[in-house]
Amino acid sequence: MLSDLPTELTEHVTGDLDLDSFRSFRLVSHSLNQQSLHQFRERFFRTRTVAWTIESLDRLTHITSDPYFGRSLRDLVVDSTPRFAIRLWGLEKGIIEADLQQDQHRRDDVQARYNEVEARLEQETRFWNETRHDRKALASVFEHLGRLQSIVFAYEGMKKNFTLFGRRYCESSQNEMSRPLISTLAAVAMVKLIVQTISIDPGRRYGAVSIGRLESLSPFLVVFDDVFLGLKVLKLNIRDWRSPDDGLEMPNGKAPFLVRFLAKLRNLESLDLSCFSSLEENILSEMARHCKYPRLRTCRLHLFRVPSAYDLLRFLEPAYEWLSSLKLCHCVMSDGEWSHAMTDIASELRLEYLELSDLFTRLGARVGFDGRMRRTLVIREPGLDRQLMYQSSRLISGNWGPAWHLDAVAYPFIGLHA
């Protein structure tokens, strides 16, 4: 009889069952229920996805409060897709098309739907702001768990044909897109949750977090000293569309909040950071002063303004003994001396892998490798330092390909690369 099978065979049988089939299997007998309990817990409770809705957050709270299954959660996926913003953007495109076609009836219909979605967004935003239900629910969940392996933020993307005025979409979607990460980190701080990885889902990576919204975490900054001791991996897209023209200025003598936040991650082993700011151009220089990552093994910097080769090496210097992989993508060097940076990397670091892609000079010219219009250079051991020294003398520059800053607004759109 099926119920007489040893536990090992029972787990083999249930290994490929979907959730509904597994539920039915467990109802066959008490013996099969007990034998398959561990497998059921590992397959369906170890990783959970939560949408940013009251219902989904409350369901997660209910599951994690279960005496047996509640503590099984190790990897939390947070669906952070700005669905209201995406819907509004599509409707706005429909309004533009109706205007071009001079179709007033269609325009009125789309405008009415736009107003309805906008009202719902305002209502939901007011609810989260006034009740803090999201961070309270997550704090309750985290308090039960005590620790997590990973928190992953997932963002669905949009088709490339929605890129018209993409900068304006990036700005208008920031609050909705940023809220899940900000509230999650606030909840992490509130209960001092231990977590090893905070990252973006590699398959659903079409999102970024506002630096301005990140600054709302300032009341928790001192708590992050302890909370982030166990954080090993950070992968985030950061954007700041604020401008000095709006009356915003960085305080003199004080590091930007983003840098003070990143300085708390003292035990990082892997950093993948995409960072564009219209307000603060010297973030990497400030990171070199305040962020020390002596255990860093892999590092990817994307969309950074690199003041000089000296600043880049000063940032990487604490990880001299450990750093094995470095990727610099869509970076512009203020003094334009990428050849100096390459020779410094070759002589000062002990890398096993180096990738340089879409580098730019201060004047906006694109760097070409190997003496030609080659946008990417990948070098591996053995002989990485010698190869890099050789390539440092074979750089050219020219005005081919899209401008550096265009990649800052590419993240929400599927298949769009600058």
Please tell me the predicted confidence (pLDDT) of residue 17: 53
Are 54 and 67 contained in the same domain? yes
In a domain, 124, yes or no: yes
pLDDT per residue over 127-145, tens digit each? 999 999 999 999 999 999 9
- Enclosing domain of residue 208: 46-79+132-244+251-409
Question: Are residues 277 and 357 both part of a single domain?
Answer: yes
pLDDT classification of 271: cutoffs 50, 70, 90: very high
Tell me the two tokens of residue 176: 């909705």
Mean pLDDT, residues 359-383: 92
> Domain for residue 286, yes or no?
yes
Distance CA 360, CA 283 (A): 17
| Most confident of the ranges 87-101, 107-121, 158-172, 398-412 | 107-121
Residues 126, 144, single domain; the answer is no
Report the predicted TM-score, pTM, of the whole model to 2 decimal places: 0.89
Label residues 154-169 b or e (16+ Cβ within 10 Å = b): bbbbbeeebbeebeeb
Dihedral angle sign, alpha carbons of residues 342, 348, 354, 360: negative
pLDDT given for residue 378 in this prediction: 97
Say whether both 196 and 114 belong to one domain.
Answer: no
Residue with tokens 């369906």: 44
Please tell me the distance from the alpha carbon of residue 22 to that of residue 10, in angstroms, as a whole number. Answer: 11
Percent of the chain with pLDDT over 90: 70
Q: Which range (43-52, 110-119, 325-334, 405-414) has the least confidence?
A: 43-52
Q: Rounded to whole angstroms, how far apart are CA atoms 375 and 365?
A: 12
| Average pLDDT of the residues of the chain | 88
Banded model confidence at residue 374, pLDDT cuts 50, 70, 90: very high
On whether residue 5 sits in a domain, the answer given is no
pLDDT over 50 at 244, yes or no: yes
Residue after which a domain boundary falls, among 131, 164, 198: 131
Query: Do 114 and 160 fall into the same domain?
Result: no
Among the candidates 114, 131, 148, a domain finishes at: 131
Residue 317: pLDDT above 90? yes
Same domain? For 171 and 71 the reply is yes
- Give me the pLDDT at residue 67, please: 79
Q: Is residue 414 a part of any domain in this protein?
A: no
**Mean of the pLDDT values across residues 2-22?**
55
Establish if 10 belongs to a structural domain. Answer: no
Determine what percent of the chain is predicted with pLDDT higher than 70.
Answer: 86
Answer yes or no: do 264 and 366 share one domain.
yes
Residue type, position 21, single letter = S
Q: Where is the domain boundary, 131, 146, 168?
A: 131
**118 lies in the same domain as 214:** no
The pLDDT value recorded for residue 163 is 73
Smallest Cα–Cα separation from 396: which of 378, 371, 413, 415?
371
Average pLDDT over residues 11-36: 55
Is the pLDDT reported for residue 11 higher than 60?
A: no
Statement to judge: residues 292 and 236 lie in one domain? yes
Q: Are residues 281 and 302 in the same domain?
A: yes
Tokens standing for 130?
């006034």
Same domain for 121 and 158, yes or no, is no
Q: Is residue 327 part of a domain?
A: yes
Residue 24 clears pLDDT 60, i.e. is over it: no
Identify which has the larger pLDDT, 356 or 70: 356
Q: In the predicted model, is pLDDT for residue 1 greater than 50?
A: no
CATH value at residue 285? 3.80.10
CA-CA distance, 266 to 264, in Å (whole number)? 6
Question: Is the pLDDT score of 34 beyond 70?
Answer: no
Determine, yes or no, domain membership for 416.
Answer: no
d(CA 234, CA 232): 7
Strand blocks (E) in 124-266: 147-155, 194-205, 209-210, 233-240
- Count of domains observed in the chain: 2
Cis peptide before 219 (omega within 30 of 0): no
- CB within 8 Å of 305: residues ≥ 6 apart: 281, 282, 283, 284, 331, 332, 334
Number of alpha carbons in the 13 Å side-chain half-sphere of residue 401: 22
Looking at residue 23, its pLDDT comes to: 57
Is position 21 within any domain?
Answer: no
Would the pLDDT of 330 be above 90?
yes
Kind and range of the H or E run holding 136: helix 133-145
Q: What is the pLDDT of residues 253-263, one digit of tens each?
A: 688 999 999 99
Give the dihedral sign, CA 62/65/71/75: positive
Residues 195 and 214 in one domain: yes
